[in-house]
């Protein structure tokens, strides 16, 4: 539902002009945003993760799940299992726990596998 509210308000799924190669959806919930982005950018690898195993299993069983989209169970408040530079586009919309953690523990872009800012 939140995904569709953002789409309505912003007129799309994101505001940045991007052509991503690798996308990470942090705390993806039902995976709807990740699936939509995977369909929009078939050349990109899209990974969604969430701590809720039931939601991840539901996303993985989505009819017509694009081949470039996958989901894993993981906790956004723990170190990620992705190497620096793994993603060039990261979505983490309105997740207060993630935002709070990012402020306390340093730059989120490093923890999200994007490497250091230039």
- Please give the pLDDT value at position 117: 41
User: For residues 4 and 107, what is the distance between their CA atoms, to the nearest angstrom?
Assistant: 28
Element (H, E) at 28: none
pTM reported for the whole predicted model = 0.71
User: For residues 66 and 112, what is the distance between their CA atoms, to the nearest angstrom?
Assistant: 23
- Please give the pLDDT value at position 70: 97
Q: Please report, for the chain, the start and end positions of each structural domain, with discontinuous segments joined by +.
A: 20-80+88-108
- Please give the pLDDT value at position 112: 47
Q: What is the pLDDT along the chain (118 residues), one digit of tens a residue?
A: 555 555 556 666 556 657 899 999 999 999 999 999 999 999 999 999 999 999 999 999 999 999 999 999 999 888 888 998 899 988 886 555 555 554 444 444 444 444 444 3
Annotation: CATH topology of 20-80+88-108: Rossmann fold (3.40.50)
User: For residues 37 and 41, what is the distance between their CA atoms, to the nearest angstrom?
Assistant: 6
- Please give the pLDDT value at position 102: 47
- Please give the pLDDT value at position 49: 94
- Please give the pLDDT value at position 13: 58
CB neighbour list of residue 103: distance below 8 Å, 6 or more residues apart: none
- Which one-letter DSSP state was computed for residue 44? S
- Please give the pLDDT value at position 68: 98
């Amino acid at each position: 539902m939140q995904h569709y509210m953002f789409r309505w308000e912003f007129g799309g799924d994101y505001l940045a002009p991007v052509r991503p190669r690798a996308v990470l959806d942090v705390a993806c919930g039902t995976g709807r945003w990740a699936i939509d982005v995977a369909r929009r950018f078939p050349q990109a690898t899209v990974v969604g993760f969430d701590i809720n195993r039931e939601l991840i299993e539901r996303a993985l069983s989505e009819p017509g799940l694009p081949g470039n989209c996958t989901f894993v169970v993981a906790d956004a408040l723990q170190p990620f299992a992705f190497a620096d530079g793994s993603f060039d586009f990261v979505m983490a919309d309105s997740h207060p726990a993630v935002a709070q953690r990012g402020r306390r523990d340093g730059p989120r872009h490093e923890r999200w596998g994007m490497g250091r800012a230039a």
